[in-house]
Chains A and B, each alone.
Chain A
Amino acid sequence: MSRSLLLKGFGLLIVAGLIFIPLTLNRYGIYIMSLWAIMTIAAMGLNLTLGYAGQVSLAQGAFVGLGAYTVAIMMSAGFGFWLPLVLAIAITFVVGWLLGYPALRVQHHYLAFVTLAFSTLVFLVFRNEEWLTKGIYGIMGFKRPTAFGVSFQKPIEFYYFTLAALALASAFVAWLVRSPWGRAFLALRENPIRALSLGVDTRRYTLMAFAIGSAMGGFAGALYAPLVEFVDPTPFTLALSLNLLMMVIVGGSGFFFGPFLGAAIGVLLPEWLRFAHGWYLIIYALFVMILLIKTPTGILGIIENMIAARKTRAASAARAAASATLDKA
């Protein structure tokens, strides 16, 4: 009782922090917070594919890119924001679905390679298909969106826009993983053979896990373009996919709040380490390495283990107390 109250209080504190702290930040600080919200959405998508459904993907960055380019290209053509947003989600959903097909044949490292190849392919399209993407010159000259007469042009306004998008994406994922689909995804990850024998159509769920996870990447990309107000190929190299993968794993793969924490480490920590000048990347790399050696299940993994250990102690005590009555029965 008191613990759930404590958790609620803690949650409220974080939400309040997310709303009020950026008011005290400068332009760059607000940009970083917006980037955190967007990367959290992308990582949540990957967490669905990898963490819940167990399908390795090194292509999430490519889907962020696809979303960003869809919005940038269409907004420059004068389509406003909302139609391109819907289209970005639809396109990445379909492409994600198609990328799921190899996962029906190959798993683990092999699947990682297939998705890696896809990631590289998408990057080459961004860079080389100049008629569509303007190649390395990039696309600019599109504005941030307005909704219901409210403008989101200023950094702080757009930050609240991304925060609302993050809330929406979180609600969606929370609902999805608690639905029967969430159970089927877990079954697919833990034991596909048994899942099949229980009637779980593992093919369809695999494709769905890819499609939905990728569409969330596309959603994140659709927010990234108006945040930066400039889209070029460089942010969408394999490095972004690897970064998103790291966020999911460091935060805790398969945990609902893993991506929030992972994205905080992936986006905010390098900024906080800037005081170390040239050393900051080395410190950052060391930190991530030590973290992963100490906690292969991610930060939320340790916390869960600690809670489980406490519960086990309590249960053992209860069992010892009850053993006398059990013996009689």
Chain B
Amino acid sequence: MARTLLEVQGIVKKFGGITAVDGVSFDVREGEILGIIGPNGCGKSTLFNCILGQLPPTEGKVVLDGNDVTGLRPSELNRRGVSRTFQLLQVFPQLSVRENLILAGQEHKGTMVSRLFGPRDAGLTPDAEQMIEFFRLGHLADEKAGGLSYGQQKLLDAAMAFMAGPRMVLLDEPAGGVNLTMLGHLEERLRAMNTERGATFVVIEHNMDFVMRLCTRVVVLAEGKKIAEGTPAEVRANPQVIDAYLGH
């Protein structure tokens, strides 16, 4: 079995009297595509935010490569190789596609001082070009990101998460609002990232077909708790999962 990259241990997150995430644990193994699914409001995004330092968890631990990284600032976690996208689009509309990609990689190059006195592109133009080619955004490289279609921006958003050569990437609803053609393209590119470059993924999704096709393993949440874990086929056959999705 592949090495464990990330261990999530008993994460609890309370907002006042509401327990959004209630003691969730799982492992992420190197090279896998782990899906996290669950009905709306089951705590998926909150869990992500706790893992990635956007929110401090009330209880629990996040361990990366054997080091406790709970509550580390997102920028620090990112520099240790954990990258993410957000549920809502988060590209920089005034910057060109290429500039967005350079921004996504520049803070991983050298120190603040060396970046100030170094080249304008922080030496990242070749990497950006490669990423542009990989996600087939070549004809848009010099366009302002704000002028791209929603699906194209989603692609750019995902591409940005890979710019720094991360160990793992957490994608929050990559398929949300993307049309079918673009979705196929996105899925194919993410899979290529996984097989060709060995990227490890954790994917939060609503689109069940997308998850079942893409992921090698799936964790199911309901009302803040983990109710199932296994291969897509196992999870699909689990009566508790069916119950959670179809209602009581």
Interface residues, chain A, with chain B CB atoms under 8 Å away: 176, 178-181, 183-184, 186-187, 190-191, 193-202, 204, 208
Contact = CB atoms under 8 A, between A and B. Distances in A.
A197 B86 CA distance: 9
Nearest to B90: A194
Contacts of A191: 90, 92
Contact of A181 (B108, B116, B160): B116
Interface in B212-243: none
B194 interface: no
Interface stretch (B19-27, B34-42, B96-104, B126-134): B96-104
Nearest to A208: B112
B118 interface: yes
Interface stretch (B58-66, B71-79, B196-204): B71-79
17 contacts: A179-B120, A181-B115, A186-B92, A186-B94, A193-B74, A196-B75, A196-B78, A197-B86, A197-B90, A198-B160, A198-B164, A199-B75, A199-B78, A199-B164, A200-B75, A201-B107, A201-B112
A183 B112 CA distance: 13
A91 to B, nearest CB: 21
B103 A179 contact: no
B115 A198 contact: no
A196 B73 contact: yes
Given A180-B115, A180-B120, A184-B103, A201 B75 contact: yes
B107 A184 contact: yes
B182 interface: no
B152 interface: no
The 6 residue pairs across chains A and B that have the minimum distance between CB atoms: A199-B107, A199-B78, A194-B90, A196-B74, A180-B115, A180-B106
B104 A183 contact: no
A109 B74 CA distance: 26
Q: How large is the interface on B (under 10, 10 to 19, 20 to 34, 35 or more residues)?
A: 20 to 34
B45 to A, nearest CB: 13
Contact of A180 (B79, B90, B92, B118): B118
Nearest to B117: A179
A200 B78 CA distance: 9
A153 to B, nearest CB: 37
A184 B74 contact: no
B54 interface: yes
Contacts of A181: 112, 115-116
B154 interface: no
A197 B120 contact: no
A136 B111 CA distance: 46
B52 interface: yes
Given A180-B106, A181-B116, A183-B103, A199 B95 contact: no
A199 B108 contact: yes
Nearest to B92: A190
Nearest to A190: B92
Interface string B144-179: 000000000000000010001000000000000000
B86 A194 contact: yes
Interface of B: 52, 54, 73-75, 78-79, 83-84, 86, 90, 92-95, 99, 102-104, 106-108, 112, 115-116, 118, 120-122, 160, 164
B107 A193 contact: no
A199 B108 CA distance: 7
Nearest to B73: A196
Contacts of B115: 179-181
Contacts of A201: 75, 107, 112
A197 B74 contact: yes
B112 A193 contact: no
Given A179-B120, A180-B120, A197 B84 contact: yes
Contact of B78 (A179, A198, A208): A198
B112 A187 contact: no
Given A196-B54, A199-B79, 17 more contacts: A180-B122, A181-B112, A181-B115, A181-B116, A183-B103, A183-B106, A190-B93, A193-B90, A197-B75, A197-B90, A198-B103, A198-B104, A199-B78, A199-B164, A200-B75, A200-B107, A204-B112
Contact of B94 (A190, A196, A197): A190
A227 to B, nearest CB: 31
Contacts of A193: 54, 74, 86, 90
Determine which residue in B86, B94, B103, B160 has the highest number of CB atoms from chain A within 10 A of its CB, and name it. B103
Contacts of B122: 180
A194 B122 CA distance: 19
A187 B73 CA distance: 17
Contacts of A202: 75
Contacts of A187: 92, 103
A23 to B, nearest CB: 38
Nearest to B53: A196
B9 to A, nearest CB: 22
Contacts of A198: 75, 78, 83, 103-104, 107, 160, 164
Contacts of B99: 183
Contacts of B120: 178-180
A249 B79 CA distance: 36
A195 B84 CA distance: 11
A201 B103 CA distance: 12
